[in-house]
Amino acid sequence: MLTLVRPQPRFTTLSWDMVIRLCHRALDRTAAWRSRTRQLDALSRLDDHLLADIGPTREQQNSACSRLFWWPL
């Protein structure tokens, strides 16, 4: 006689410490993304005179500003 046994699902219990650390990581990542968004927005608004002051060319500015906010700078 053949008996089929279904595997039991594996549930991992999370401690409150782990939940808090995951929340902090999510908040940190969100803050980094918001900061990067503000930086790219400010960079996109620079004129030629200000770009000449800080060094990048217009092509480098366009390349940096076309990146998505979750990509590291």
Per-residue pLDDT of the chain (73 residues; tens, 9 = 90+): 667 777 777 777 788 999 999 999 999 999 999 999 999 999 999 999 999 899 988 999 999 888 888 877 6
pLDDT of the residue at 32: 92
What are the tokens at 27?
A: 């908040």
Distance CA 8, CA 72 (A): 40
**What is the model's pLDDT at position 11?**
72
Under a CB-based contact definition with an 8 Å cutoff, are residues 69 and 29 in contact? Answer: no
